[in-house]
Amino acid sequence: MEKKRDVSEYRERLNETLSSPELINEQTLKTLVRKQLNEVAALSSTIEKLRSVSTKDQDLSKSSTEASYGDWKVKHDDKDCRVMYREGLKGSPFHTLLVEGCTDGTIEDCLCVCWESSFYEKWWPKLTFPSFRVLEAKCLQKFRIDEQICLLRVKAPWPLTDREAVLQFFVFEYFKDDLVIILLNSIEVESGSVAEVNAVRIDFVGGVAIQKVTPEKSYIRFIAEVDIKLDLVPPSLINFMSRQLLGNGFKLFKKTIGSVAESDDYKTVLADPLYTHIREALYSSDKTDEICQVNELHSQQGRDCEEKEPKLEADDDMEKENETRDCENESVPCKRDVPEIEEEECVDDLKEENKSSPSSSSSSSSSSSEDEDKNGKTRFCISPEVKQALGTLERVISMVRKSKTDNNNTSTSSEEEEEEASSSPMQHSGSTQIVSSSKVCIQDPNTELLDEASFAHYHNSNKIAPASPEIDLTTNSEVRAQICRGNVNRAALVSGFGEEGLEIVIGAADQTTKALSELAMDSSTTLNAAESSAGDGAGPRSKNALKKEQKMKQKEEEKRRKDEEKAEKAKQAPKASSQKAVAADDEEMDATQYYENRLKYLAAEKAKGENPYPHKFAVSMSIPKYIETYGSLNNGDHVENAEESLAGRIMSKRSSSSKLFFYDLHGDDFKVQVMADASKSGLDEAEFLKLHSNAKRGDIVGVIGFPGKTKRGELSIFPRSFILLSHCLHMMPRKADNVNAKKPEIWVPGQTRNPEAYVLKDQESRYRQRHLDMILNVEVRQIFRTRAKIISYVRRFLDNKNFLEVETPMMNMIAGGAAARPFVTHHNDLDMRLYMRIAPELYLKQLIVGGLERVYEIGKQFRNEGIDLTHNPEFTTCEFYMAFADYNDLMEMTEVMLSGMVKELTGGYKIKYNANGYDKDPIEIDFTPPFRRIEMIGELEKVAKLNIPKDLASEEANKYLIDACARFDVKCPPPQTTARLLDKLVGEFLEPTCVNPTFIINQPEIMSPLAKWHRSKSGLTERFELFINKHELCNAYTELNDPVVQRQRFADQLKDRQSGDDEAMALDETFCNALEYGLAPTGGWGLGIDRLSMLLTDSLNIKEVLFFPAMRPPQEESAAAQAPLTEEKK
């Protein structure tokens, strides 16, 4: 309880500081923010947001029914932190979140963790919130030590796309009350300055207040108004952001601050001038007394200046700047020593008094000093003409703002406009209070006097102070620009004013801006004159004052000229520009909203009786053929008497105007430009714009037109007819332009790849959505074309040698032909268990017995084993069997086939392969025949220095191999059969040496139950395995054709199965019976198509060469699939 009471005291102290007069008034903020005066408005707004919670503290205990708009809702409140949420205006996309609490750390530590965006990924949770994490955080530009622009990109929970914001950071110091504030405002940046990704840019306005409470503690308050670019923000998302992200994130933030002193990264950063400056100002032992003394000195100087007239020299501005720098060095927020000049007289009356009497100047001055404002502010007058223009302008802009928030209302009654105008405070006769917080002095019924702070609202960045604090009024130039851009419902304005009336009120707005500019110049001149008279009586103004006046006149003239140019362009702009803007903006919207808009468009087309999916489109030639036919045209040539029809997918869309659109049409890995011109389309401008506004990236279109080249040499087709054939409903990621109208510079077999350059990089998304992967990544399509060429070459090679391609069953009663764990299924009608085949070998040998002397099969095999970079449960092999041949013949055929294939696909025998990863240098694999050959047992004994017993079937050999594996730390899980032990040792010592193609020959009989015994080496077989890049690619042997020996081999395998080896072969009585009819001397051969494709396509993962690889289902789908099963069990 005591700790919570301390937190409440710290919170109340921060509230009092934020409510201090110096931080409430913008004029006093200007004296505190000297380096960036243009940040005053943003700083004032941020402080107001930070202060808003303090005015509601007493209301938080009320029930929700008592709360009105703007009230905060507490989402979490304990001794660690308080999290609050406030809804925005109805129809506003902004929602406000706040988190605050006390932390054990100095101000510079807290500022460092907030300010150094490059460290966000170090402390923001990654495991706690896997669906919401920081993807990228970095500083884009640093202007000074206290201002920078940063990029923050986060991964959002499904189904949202990633979010990003470009934030401007600005530090404000208020050392008087040990306070530092960071402004965090999102800004727009030029296209290309930030790498484009599939992320939605959000709007963010907020800040962080950090106040020192003890030398080792600080109190932090973070507030943010966020537009996350969602049409509907569900309460569950707000709760997630409030409790999980902010609540738990703040705890991690506190933990990070506690470890700053121990982190080398933070120690290095804390040596920067920004933190040194704060440390010296707040934590130096002698600084506290010095600040107090300086404050007392400034207070005394202020009192002295009130008692006597200030004395100004010609270079007084230079002296003031020196004083400001001195104050900065003392780390004390100081004001100017010379007080502000005070006036309370109308400019027109002053001129008349000067005409009537020479002495009126002194009398006016004395009366001014008598009637001076208690707050020491200069006040100005507004003439009746300016006042009337302001009222008219407010009426127009209020309607503009209203129409922006409700574009569905296409008309507004004149009665409502009159009520709106009559209710405006600026339309009242006599004196009116224009700004609620400003002072108003009444000289006569036709004149209003505003103090300097109020006048600043009128003449700050060409904006006029609103009569209501909830409406931001815009100047005439902005009104015109908004109307021209299509952001304002012009029909609503015309219905209220008429076409001529609208131009009149915009003209009145022009006059208002001009009058305000003149009024500002007059006020500046009056101030300079007063300063001069205060310094040396009636002497001339200083040089600095004259220079300032001249610069102000130049700026106002330049702005007036630009406003006139904008207004002129707005008049000439076509009405269709608004539709054009809408068509361009849809690429920036949220992906979910984009999808919904596309569905609505299709529904509207169907409702009108249109078919958005035509049944047929006749194509006269392919895009590659079009390029080949017309690529030789000269620049600027058009063949208008020729008509061609092309079809393809739009991958890029650009527009020069509402009458001219450009597309990149892709097909067969080539592209051609479509240059759609309204004058050649046969449509009027409105129909043309509507048609092309609905064509989006990813759509499949048909184009009928004539060929030609642009003046820049771009081969194009100029459509007379443009037809949407199929619609892409999802927003496509931006595609890099890596395809040319010439031969595309893309990957070819045998060369290295660069997946980091892909448009769609995420492997999970690529494998699960292969269609999108192939649309966006041209290289992926080339990989699968290469795979098809490999299969085609093998088939052509065997066909040329008179082999017959056959098909054998996929489901077997016995899983034979290889040593592997099968998939099991059940046949309902036969009521029997069946196995998916693990190899077609036994069926193909039976065909040889039947008289087909050369057969082969290319097909799928299924093995219920692990999934890794080189294994998939479903894979493709080629097996052939050749009567009257042995394994020596098959080795020669293998060398000829593979070397010839590599030569045909790559142009040579050597390929490059990134065996160690794409970030390392590739290795070179040489397929030049003949290939290297090594004997398994002999080479193993030589390399590992072993002496393996000759009788490999004995217990002695098994024990020896178990000891050898233990000695070399080679893992072999049970059952430790002799065959399995040998396989593990070969994998440890021989396979790593096989980078170039290598045959490992003469395997033992216990490892090859279907191979024929070696004709000269007892205990071995005539078998070989081809290894390339340390992986098995091919397996072949002279086939065993003795039925008696074959039965014995099956019996030995049965013993291994009984000892626990479920990969051992089962006895196939049908096959043994076929051998009893006589199998000719035969050589059998098998090749893994997938692994060969990996080698020739530089793929490190077998999933890269499978269209639809086996994948674990997503968590959401897996949970949904298991739910019904759980219910059934219950």
Mean pLDDT of 956-965: 95
**Among 24, 42, 23, CA closest to 461:** 42
- Residues 614 and 701 sit within 8 Å (Cβ to Cβ): no
**Among 425, 402, 428, 426, CA closest to 413:** 402
pLDDT given for residue 971 in this prediction: 92
Bigger pLDDT: 610 vs 86: 610
What is the rounded average pLDDT for all residues in the chain? 75
Bigger pLDDT: 123 vs 841: 841
Q: What are the two backbone dihedrals, phi and then psi, of residue 794, each rounded to the nearest 5 degrees?
A: -60, -45
Decide whether 2-283 matches 579-745 in CATH topology.
no
Q: What are the two backbone dihedrals, phi and then psi, of residue 1088, each rounded to the nearest 5 degrees?
A: -85, 110
pLDDT given for residue 394 in this prediction: 64
Bigger pLDDT: 11 vs 720: 720
pLDDT given for residue 878 in this prediction: 98
Sheet holding 447-451, edge to edge: 379-382, 447-451, 440-444
Peptide bond into 159 cis (omega under 30): yes
Residue type, 598: R
Tokens of 899: 């070397």
Tokens of 38: 């243009």
Lookup result for tokens 């219950």? 1130
pLDDT category of residue 68 using cuts at 50, 70 and 90: very low
Distances (CA, A) of 938 to 828, 955, 1036: 51, 20, 19
Distance CA 288, CA 294 (A): 10
pLDDT given for residue 521 in this prediction: 52
- The CA dihedral of 257, 261, 267, 273, to the nearest 10 degrees, is 70
Among 43-57, 344-358, 1099-1113, the minimum mean pLDDT is found in 344-358
Tokens of 341: 């000049």
Peptide bond into 384 cis (omega under 30): no
- Residues 991 and 970 sit within 8 Å (Cβ to Cβ): no
Q: Residues 774-813: pLDDT tens digits? A: 999 999 999 999 999 999 999 999 999 999 999 999 999 9
Distance CA 919, CA 914 (A): 8
What stretch of H or E contains 760?
A: none
- Residues 350 and 476 sit within 8 Å (Cβ to Cβ): no
Fold of the domain spanning 2-283:
Alpha-D-Glucose-1,6-Bisphosphate; Chain A, domain 4 (3.30.530)
Q: Is the pLDDT of residue 317 over 50?
A: no
- What does 7-33 look like in DSSP terms, one character per residue? HHHHHHHHHHHHTSHHHH-HHHHHHH-
pLDDT category of residue 12 using cuts at 50, 70 and 90: confident
Neighbours of 243 (CB within 10 A): 14
User: Which DSSP state fits 245?
Assistant: I
Q: Residues 620-678: pLDDT tens digits? A: 999 999 999 999 999 999 999 999 999 999 999 999 888 999 999 999 989 999 999 99
Instruction: Give every CB contact of residue 461 below 8 A, 6+ residues apart in sequence.
Output: 41
Burial tier of 90 (Cβ tally within 10 Å: 0-12, 13-18, 19+): exposed
Among 537-551, 666-680, 979-993, the minimum mean pLDDT is found in 537-551
Tokens of 565: 């140019």
Helix (H, G, I), strand (E, B) or coil at 667: strand
Q: Is the pLDDT of residue 534 over 70?
A: no
**Among 104, 149, 115, CA closest to 266:** 115
Peptide bond into 157 cis (omega under 30): no
**Among 207, 203, 200, 239, CA closest to 222:** 207
Helix (H, G, I), strand (E, B) or coil at 211: strand
Among 229-233, 359-363, 640-644, 847-851, the minimum mean pLDDT is found in 359-363
Among 7-16, 372-381, 428-437, 776-785, the minimum mean pLDDT is found in 428-437
Among 264-273, 475-484, 823-832, 1059-1068, the minimum mean pLDDT is found in 475-484
Q: Is 668 left (phi over 0), alpha (psi -120 to 50) or beta?
A: left
**Among 86, 66, 65, CA closest to 74:** 86
Mean pLDDT of 222-251: 75
Chosen CATH of 579-745 out of 2.40.100.20, 2.40.50.140, 3.30.70.1280, 3.40.50.1820: 2.40.50.140
pLDDT given for residue 464 in this prediction: 33
First to last CA, the chain: 48
Bigger pLDDT: 948 vs 372: 948
Task: Characterize the bridge pairing of strands 379-382 and 440-444.
Answer: unpaired
Q: Is the pLDDT of residue 817 over 50?
A: yes
Task: Characterize the bridge pairing of strands 162-174 and 147-155.
Answer: antiparallel
Mean pLDDT of 828-838: 94
Q: Residues 490-523: pLDDT tens digits? A: 554 555 455 555 565 566 555 555 555 555 455 4
Q: Residues 372-399: pLDDT tens digits? A: 444 444 444 555 555 565 666 666 666 5
- Residues 912 and 922 sit within 8 Å (Cβ to Cβ): yes
Distances (CA, A) of 202 to 49, 197, 336: 19, 14, 40
What stretch of H or E contains 151?
A: strand 147-155
Distances (CA, A) of 31 to 37, 336, 458, 1006: 9, 8, 20, 92
What's the pTM value of the predicted model, to 2 decimals? 0.52
Among 259-263, 336-340, 480-484, the minimum mean pLDDT is found in 336-340
Helix (H, G, I), strand (E, B) or coil at 176: helix
Q: Which of 452-461, 975-984, 1053-1062: highest mean pLDDT?
A: 975-984
pLDDT given for residue 494 in this prediction: 52
Among 586-595, 944-953, 1021-1030, 1067-1076, the minimum mean pLDDT is found in 586-595
Where are the domains positioned within the chain? 2-283, 347-536+552-573, 579-745, 746-931+996-1130
Among 341-350, 520-529, 671-680, 687-696, the minimum mean pLDDT is found in 341-350
Neighbours of 448 (CB within 10 A): 26
Mean pLDDT of 1-16: 76
Lookup result for tokens 């700790």? 3
Instruction: Give every CB contact of residue 228 below 8 A, 6+ residues apart in sequence.
Output: 95, 163, 202
Distance CA 575, CA 913 (A): 58
Q: Residues 112-156: pLDDT tens digits? A: 888 888 777 776 665 444 456 788 888 888 877 788 888 888 877
- Residues 652 and 735 sit within 8 Å (Cβ to Cβ): yes
721 beta partners: 704
Q: Is the pLDDT of residue 850 over 70?
A: yes
Bigger pLDDT: 523 vs 976: 976
The proportion of the chain whose per-residue pLDDT surpasses 90, expressed as a percent, equals 38
Q: What are the two backbone dihedrals, phi and then psi, of residue 256, each rounded to the nearest 5 degrees?
A: -65, -40
Q: Per-residue b/e over 941-979, b at no fewer than 16 CB within 10 Å?
A: eebbebebbeebeeeebbebbeebbeeeebebeebbbbb
Orientation angle between helical segments 273-283 and 287-307, nearest 10 degrees: 80
What stretch of H or E contains 306?
A: helix 287-307
Q: Is the pLDDT of residue 1085 over 90?
A: yes
pLDDT category of residue 852 using cuts at 50, 70 and 90: very high
**Among 306, 365, 300, 292, CA closest to 338:** 306
**Gyration radius of the chain's alpha carbons:** 41
Q: Is the pLDDT of residue 486 over 90?
A: no
172 beta partners: 181
Q: Residues 591-603: pLDDT tens digits? A: 888 999 999 999 9
pLDDT given for residue 630 in this prediction: 95
Q: Is the pLDDT of residue 736 over 60?
A: no
Distance CA 808, CA 277 (A): 82
Bigger pLDDT: 905 vs 312: 905
Q: Is the pLDDT of residue 681 over 50?
A: yes
pLDDT given for residue 73 in this prediction: 82
* CATH code assigned to 746-931+996-1130: 3.30.930.10
Computed from CA positions of residues 1033, 1037, 1040, 1041, in that sequence, does the dihedral angle turn out positive or negative? Answer: positive
